[in-house]
Chains A and B, each alone.
Chain A
Amino acid sequence: MFADPLLLARAQFGLNIAFHILFPSITIALAWVLVYLRVRIERTGEAWLKGAYRLWVKIFALSFAMGVVSGITMSFQFGTNWPGFMQKAGNIAGPLLGYEVLTAFFLEATFLGVMLFGRDRVPAWLHTLSSFMVAIGTSFSAFWILALNSWMQTPQGFEIIDGQFHATDWWAIIFNPSFPYRFTHMMIASGLTAAFLVAGISAFQLLRNAQFEPARRMLRLGIVVAAVLTPVQIFVGDLHGLNTLKHQPAKIAAIEGIWETGRNVPLLLFALPNNTERRNDYAVAVPGMASFILTHDFEGEVKGLSEFGDKHPPVMQVFWSFRIMVGVGMLMLLLSWGAIWQVFRRKPSPRWMLLAFAGMTFSGWVAVLAGWLTTEIGRQPYLVYGVLTTAEAASDVPASHIAITLVGYAVVYSLLLVSYMVVVTQLAIKEAAGEKTPEPVNPAFQSGIA
């Protein structure tokens, strides 16, 4: 297993892209939260706003830096790990990534400097505009990268000449069938990740200092956003699933653990899909429910994995990562709706609720990763669905090189992830303790350099 370069290359790329997506998931939405705070600060200047901004701009800067450095890695790994992808599909993938760099990366990176450190150097409106530019940049970035990913899932608008992809219709490529659903699903996922991060950190602060006003306000903001977005996300997720059923039926069959085509297909709540025996062990099922969800008819026919020969994804991973995503979504719905009730009654959140939010601080990450694993593993064995297999795109770099660098990346990412979570917690504790940043003995240190 360790000698298989394809598996190593996938593990390495998967590790990198999984680590990377953690941070855009936060910053895409958190950038807009900061724009909101900034506008309110310039309008009303209430004290709690400044306290909230002081903490969240630091967490944003930290998250952004993590996203940037792991994103640079991504741009190189397309070439180092999947040279076949670039040689065959470069005519499509290249321009989409190119537009991401041109319209998003420079915008966010340049205005970030002004947003973070320019407050006393430019007029207020220009500073708010810079925050806005950063937020727009992060959203543009999501637009292009999801256009490319969606095209890999539901490719169209191209022809193949001598084994190479050639674009025939850029509009069709960008607005491919799964793009609107995937883009919306991801943007809302970012909103939920940020909402639970904000609510979780604020709850954590309130557990230490119940009177801390910025945390009370930010908790409420997080609850409201989460309570609104969670049901919308469930609705959009359902549409996305129906879209997948239409274009990638093998993925849906794997998600639902359906081996044979049939009517009145049960929904599996628990099962251990068995790849070798091609059946599910220990299944707990609701009769007819999968047919109902997927076709909105209990007697609806759903295609099974056997229709696809060996060209279907590994079932166990897809089956379970999907259930983890949905499970986290249900927890989010339960908690945010329970909490919004308290907000309506203008009651302070009880201690158990604060503990629950603090416990769900990084729940968005779990759902986002599980969701991406579902859709990406669900595309296997293809890289570009139905047209180019992952094996065809792999590089001929020796397995030992991939293994060594894989270990290197894993060590670095573990260090970064632990440091990130420790520092975010420390920043939150420091703010909640009401510690004003002392006047600098050691200016840049204390006040925080991005």
Chain B
Amino acid sequence: MDLPLIFAMLMGLAILAYVILDGFDLGVGILVPLATPDEQDMMVASIGPFWDANETWLVLGVGILLVAFPQAHGVILTALYLPVALMLVALMLRGVAFEFRAKATGWHQQLWNRLFFVGSLGAAVAQGMMLGGVVTGFGKGALFVGFELLVGLGLAGGYALLGATWLVIKTEGDLQARALRWGKGAAFLAAAGVAAISLATPFASANIMEKWFAWPRLLWLSPLPILSAAAFAGILISLARLQRGQSRREYLPFVLGVWIFVFAFAGLAYSLFPYLVVDRMTIWQAAAAESSLRFVFVGACIVLPMIVAYTLFSYRVFWGKARSLTYGE
């Protein structure tokens, strides 16, 4: 059994799950300044029960990197030292802001409301910069930093898209109408981000260029960009139809947004595989000892289905339109 490959796929799935799940709640955080105070509370209520578990997928992703690929864990994280630190501080401020904005009083409360937004945006941009670093093989220089920032903004746009379309599902009335408008704006930002990274990645590595543009591979890879473009168009159309009241399928824009992330992820995975550090270290070179992988694999087989089951349970408990959050008595 090729355990490094299995763990690479698991890590990919954990990262994809993280990007989608924490993506929508970070996105809601990014959109917060556009809403009125009452709406802000409803927006936070729509993600309050989930954000903590959503963020745990990040820990699982980096955890698998550590468990299965200890050789790469140090290399990647030291290369990404500054954006990682930025992301961590941002996630910290935002995570505790859920608490403090509700429990603090006076100017203190206003401060945490702002930090909630700043943290959400900061985390999204930092994660985009990390992604930019990974696909360019940790290049150094102003050009690379510029590219990383571009990916950062694109990812923030993508998260805002997931956040806005999540709000379309979870809210009603004025707030939902605003969310529909935000969704359109965010869709353009996200599309620009996906296009930028798709075009730039091949130039960072001759290998990746070869993988995409050699004939006839280009032909059977072509569905990926075509489907992504179709999904973007679908989002714009379904948002417009919802705005005009011609459709009641409120979940559709969110689902299409998720598909965009899945396509983008598939493209990236294809570009990078089998490397963890572009052109330098493959998953097999970085892998932990067989005995360690087997020890974790057994546990993961038992526990992961349980995690998926109780995650579904918790989403079911809070199914439907968001209500204001109260601690029960």
Contacts and interface: CB of A to CB of B under 8 A. Distances in A.
Q: Decide whether A and B are members of one complex.
A: yes
Interface of A: 41, 50, 53-54, 57-58, 61-62, 64-66, 68-73, 75-76, 78-80, 82-84, 86-87, 90-95, 97-99, 101-103, 105-107, 109-114, 116-122, 127, 164, 166-168, 170, 395-397, 401, 405, 408-409, 412, 416, 419, 422-423, 426-427, 440, 442-445, 447-450
A450 B98 contact: yes
Interface string B266-280: 000000000000000
A436 to B, nearest CB: 11
Contacts of B56: 101, 105-106, 109-110
A396 B77 CA distance: 12
- Chain B interface mostly helix, strand, loop or mixed? helix
Nearest to B310: A110
Given A92-B292, A450-B99, 19 more contacts: A72-B58, A72-B92, A76-B88, A87-B74, A90-B66, A90-B70, A90-B71, A98-B67, A109-B55, A113-B49, A117-B326, A119-B327, A122-B317, A168-B291, A426-B103, A427-B103, A442-B37, A449-B45, A449-B98
B95 interface: yes
B206 to A, nearest CB: 28
B63 A449 contact: no
Given A167-B289, A396-B78, A444-B41, A117 B88 contact: no
Interface string B186-222: 0000000000000000000000000000000000000
Interface stretch (B79-87, B141-149, B165-173): B79-87
B88 A444 contact: no
A90 B296 CA distance: 13
Nearest to B119: A69
A110 B314 contact: yes
Contacts of B64: 98
B88 A109 contact: no
Contacts of A419: 96, 100, 104, 108, 112
B74 A84 contact: yes
Given A91-B289, A167-B295, A427-B103, A79 B328 contact: no
Q: Which 6 A-B pairs have the closest CB atoms?
A: A119-B328, A90-B70, A83-B74, A443-B324, A113-B49, A79-B77
B318 interface: yes
Interface string B292-315: 100110011001100100110110
B292 A94 contact: yes
Given A62-B99, A90-B73, A408 B292 contact: no
Given A83-B77, A106-B307, A416 B96 contact: yes
B55 A68 contact: yes
Interface size class of B (residues with CB under 8 A): 35 or more
A80 B66 contact: no
A189 to B, nearest CB: 24
Given A61-B99, A442-B41, A98 B74 contact: no
A347 B74 CA distance: 59
B327 A97 contact: no
Nearest to A106: B307
Contacts of A58: 103, 327
B84 A80 contact: yes
A447 B39 CA distance: 15
Given A109-B52, A110-B314, A73 B99 contact: no
B88 A450 contact: no
B125 interface: no
Which of A95, A114, A127, A168 counts the most chain B CB atoms within 10 A? A95
A106 B44 contact: no
Contacts of A116: 49, 325, 327
Contacts of B326: 117, 119-120, 443, 447-448
Contacts of B9: none
Contacts of B58: 72
B329 interface: yes
A91 to B, nearest CB: 4
A57 B317 CA distance: 20
A86 B70 contact: yes
B66 A97 contact: yes
Nearest to B37: A442
Residue with the highest number of chain A CB atoms closer than 10 Å, among B64, B66, B291, B303: B66
A82 B66 CA distance: 12
Nearest to B302: A102
> Which residue, of A101, A119, A166, A395, has the highest number of chain B Cβ atoms within 10 A?
A101
A68 B77 CA distance: 20
12 contacts: A54-B327, A65-B52, A80-B84, A86-B70, A93-B70, A94-B68, A106-B53, A166-B292, A426-B103, A426-B104, A444-B325, A449-B101
B298 to A, nearest CB: 10
A121 B66 contact: no
A98 B102 CA distance: 33
A362 B227 CA distance: 57
Residue among A50, A80, A83, A412 with the highest chain B CB neighbour number at 10 A = A80
Contacts of B103: 58, 62, 423, 426-427, 448
A166 B288 CA distance: 9
Nearest to A408: B89
